[in-house]
Amino acid sequence: MNRPVILKLVSVRRELELSRDIRQTILPGISLEIQEGEFISITGHSGSGKSTLLYIMGGLDKPTFGEVWLEGVNLTDKTEKEMSVIRNRKIGFIYQFHFLLPEFTAVENVGMPMMIGSRPKSEIRERAQMLLDRVGLSDRYDYRPSQLSGGQQQRVAVARALANNPKIVLGDEPTGNLDTKSGKQVYELFEEMNEVFNQTIIFVTHDEDFARRAKRRIHLVDGKIDSDSKTGS
């Protein structure tokens, strides 16, 4: 099946300047293409560059050299302000730690990314509730993060990442802090987002089962793609 390329990395290199004359190379040069609707797991040992790669894919970090293209647009020379608009509209990010705002309820946290622009409050609340329904939290709209379990908090974070119906959803070990059952629930939400809503999902995981269940699997060793394989269709 030939679907449009949604994300393209061209010779992406990421160096860190540790001091004036010491530079560390995290990613020596990664090129890859991701098509719309792919469901991809990224694995690799701690320190292999998984988070760095994901942050670059999501426009949260910039390569030292190389290019990142999102839907045919070169992100390389975008300003931070332009990037924040692009991220808000097109990318949903889920972290290992949920980063929910503790003072706000589940519905308010999920509605936060929708506050940009002039959408009516009632419409924002309605959509936030619909997203919480989708992650199985219909009975927790007005709970604060501290009143929710870890698994529930992470599901709120998933709902928040979906706020603006992003084309791409990126997860950096999104199930890493969850018990087996909650992790499975979050993973199955990803599958649903991919299968029902055709969202492109890319997630870093240490869970071998989840990694294997993805339709495409990228394995990193020392910042390089060690293997990149598609399963099934």
Ligand X SMILES: Nc1ncnc2c1ncn2[C@@H]1O[C@H](COP(=O)(O)OP(=O)(O)O)[C@@H](O)[C@H]1O
- Which spans of this chain sit near Mg ion (rule: CB under 5 A)? 50-51
The CA distances from residue 3 to 8, 36, 38, 200, 208, in Å, are 13, 6, 9, 11, 27
Number of residues this chain uses to bind ligand X (CB under 6 A)? 10
The entry of Mg ion, ligand X, none that residue 48 binds, CB within 5 to 8 Å by partner kind: ligand X
Residue 182 Cβ, how far from ligand X at the closest point, in Å? 22
Residue 52 Cβ, how far from Mg ion at the closest point, in Å? 8
* DSSP helix/strand/coil, 214: coil
> Taking Cα atoms as reference points, which of 74, 148, 62, 135 lies closest to residue 105?
148
List the one residue from 44, 113, 171, 174 that touches ligand X (CB under 6 A). 44
Residue 11: Cβ within 10 Å count: 13
Which 8-state DSSP code applies to residue 206? S
Structure tokens at 116: 């940009």
List the one residue from 12, 26, 114, 131 that touches ligand X (CB under 6 A). 26
Q: Give DSSP secondary structure letters for 67-96.
A: EEEETTEE-TT--HHHHHHHHHHHEEEE-S
Shorter beta-carbon distance to ligand X: residue 7 or 128: 7
Residue 219 near ligand X by CB under 6 A: no
Structure tokens at 1: 């099946």
The entry of ligand X, Mg ion, none that residue 146 binds, CB within 5 to 8 Å by partner kind: none
Residue 116 near ligand X by CB under 6 A: no
Residue 16 near ligand X by CB under 6 A: yes
Shorter beta-carbon distance to ligand X: residue 165 or 227: 227
How many DSSP H helices and E strands does the chain contain?
7, 10
In the complex, the residues that contact ligand X under the rule CB under 6 A are 16, 26, 44, 46-52
